[in-house]
Structure 1
Amino acid sequence: MIDVTRFDDAKAYDAKGHFGMTAMRLQGQGVTGLEDYWVGFSTFLPGGGADKAAAPTGKVYVVLEGEITVTTAEGDTVIGKYDSCYIPPNTERSIVNATNHAVQMLVISPN
């Protein structure tokens, strides 16, 4: 049997170090039986983002609407609609929505 999370039933959670945004868990981490990784949906308001931090696991960002700026030691990278990027484990990054439009993004990360 497939494990479906209806978007209207998704619950918001507090994403540590993030501001001006809402995060919802879609798969994994207690929402469904997915064990290997989790999938989240984030909405960043204009000026919203995440403080500089590193995670022990890698992450994939997939922008569904708008554009977001990802900053690492290598500099700034703008990720636009349908673009994706991979942030390797232990890589310091910050993100910011530097536009006047909301950004919608999927986040995929191993547990």
Structure 2
Amino acid sequence: MHIKRFGQAAPYEAPNHYDMRALRLQGFEAGGPGQFWVGLSHLLPGGGAGPDSSALEKVYVVLAGAVNLKTAGEEAVLGPLDSVCIPPGEVREMRNHGNEVATLLVVMPYPPGGAPQGQEKRS
């Protein structure tokens, strides 16, 4: 078991994001998950990301507020406990058009090469 208290979560910068603050809840550390990492993103009113894509799939779970998500073929508003899987290579754009902070749980696999060195693989 690898417990990490919320107060221990370190901030990180996400490329092509603005008016957003992010914390790494699990991953990129010894004893953490070996296949993926978990982040918590706070999108301030007017904040967002993209448009851009990633070579890795990702899952967003909205915990609070609302997020407008747009891909080439769809546009949707996600609210609390709604989730979405963005496949690799899909261009997405997200925005917080509301007046309250939108909070998202982010789950992504590690980049090619796997977990950081010193982190044990788990099956």
> TM-score per shorter chain, which class?
over 0.9
Match of 1:22 in 2: 21
Give the Å deviation of 1:32: 4.6
Which aligned pairs between 1:1-111 and structure 2 lie closer than 5 A? 2-30=1-29, 32-111=31-110
Larger radius of gyration: 2
Structure 2 unaligned residues grouped into runs of 5+: 111-123
Q: Report percent identity of matched pairs.
A: 41
Structure 1 Cα separation of the partners of residues 36 and 107 of structure 2: 7
Distance across 2 between alignment mates of 1:42 and 1:15: 10
TM-score by length of 1: 0.94
TM-score, structure 2 as length reference: 0.85
Which structure features the higher share of strand residues? Answer: 1
Answer yes or no: is the 8 Å Cα contact 1:25–1:31 preserved in 2: no
Which 4+ stretches in 1 moved above 4 angstroms? none
Count residues with an aligned counterpart. Answer: 110
Alpha carbon RMSD of aligned pairs, Å? 1.1
* Residues 48 and 31 of structure 1: CA distance in aligned 2, closer, same or farther (over 3 Å): farther
